[in-house]
Amino acid sequence: MGNDPSFRLGAEALGTAIGQGGHELVYGGASVGLMGVVADAALKAGANVAGVLPKALADLELAKPDLSELHIVGSMHERKMMMADLSNAFIALPGGIGTLEEMFEVWTWTQLGVHSKPVGLLNVNTFYDPLVAFLSGVVDAGFIKKAHYDMLVVETTPEELLSRLLSANIEYEPKVGT
């Protein structure tokens, strides 16, 4: 959950906005952490919520039992691929290594043309400000094209983030098979 209560509140607000906006949620399938908070709020707001969980984690009883759909897969790689296939956009909340790894992977896939789905950061309480500043420096250093940097949608409220993701126009056509 992190050590700032605003992270939990941001996760709740995102789940509520997803449900109230008539959207569906695809997420990691667990009942724990901020992802569990988003799922609870989305369900409460009337959203269809699909979880994708590796069997090893399901065996540890981490699966959220009241989901609209729960897909049990064999590995983390299968989980990420299924989540990517089922999703129309991606949102990263404040999180750790796994969150960052998954966000960078789907953003890279957009850059490579594997998909044309938008990627966003919910910048709760300025959590992602240091990362955004770092990435801007990477652009300045010539390692990321400005067009690719601009694909990453960063907003501080769920409503603004969802609005921008829904109106995003990714100019790259799929070029690489998935």
List C-alpha distances in Å: 92 to 116, 140, 173: 17, 24, 23
The pLDDT, as a whole number, for residue 75 is 95
Query: Which pLDDT belongs to residue 169?
Result: 78
Residue 64 amino acid letter: K
Distance CA(26)–CA(61), nearest Å, equals 19
**pLDDT tens-place string over residues 54-99:** 999 888 878 888 999 999 999 999 999 999 999 999 999 999 999 9
Q: In sequence order, what DSSP letters do the residues of 138-162 get, joined into one string?
A: HHHTTSS-HHHHTTEEEESSHHHHH
Query: Measured at the alpha carbon of residue 107, what is the angle toward residues 102 and 113, in degrees to the nearest 5?
Result: 130
Structure confidence at residue 174 (pLDDT): 46
Q: What pLDDT is stored for residue 80 in this prediction?
A: 93
Q: Select from 93, 43, 87, 95 the least CA-distant residue to 65.
A: 43
The residues that bridge with 154 in the sheet, in sequence order, are 121
Element (DSSP H or E) covering residue 76: helix 76-86
pLDDT for res 171 = 64
Q: What is the reported pTM?
A: 0.92
All residues at 6 or more sequence positions from 32 whose CB lies less than 8 Å from its CB, including other chains: 62
The confidence score (pLDDT) of residue 172 equals: 54
**What is the domain extent for residue 39?**
5-163
Domain assignment present for 103: yes
pLDDT under 50: residue ranges of the chain: 173-178
- The pLDDT assigned to 177 comes to 45
* DSSP per-residue codes, 97-143: HHHHHHHHHHHHHHHHTS----EEEE-GGGTTHHHHHHHHHHHHTTS
When divided into structural domains, the chain yields a total of: 1
Q: Residue 77 domain-assigned?
A: yes
pLDDT at 178 (0 to 100)? 40
Asked whether residue 107 is domain-assigned, the answer is yes
Q: pLDDT at position 142, please? A: 97
Q: Is residue 170 part of a domain?
A: no
- The answer to the question of residue 42 being in a domain is yes
CA atoms of 11 and 9, how far apart (whole Å): 5
66 within a domain of the structure (yes/no) = yes
155: CATH: 3.40.50.450
Picking from 84, 161, 79, 143, the residue whose alpha carbon sits closest to that of residue 152 is: 161
Domain for residue 178, yes or no?
no
In a domain, 87, yes or no: yes
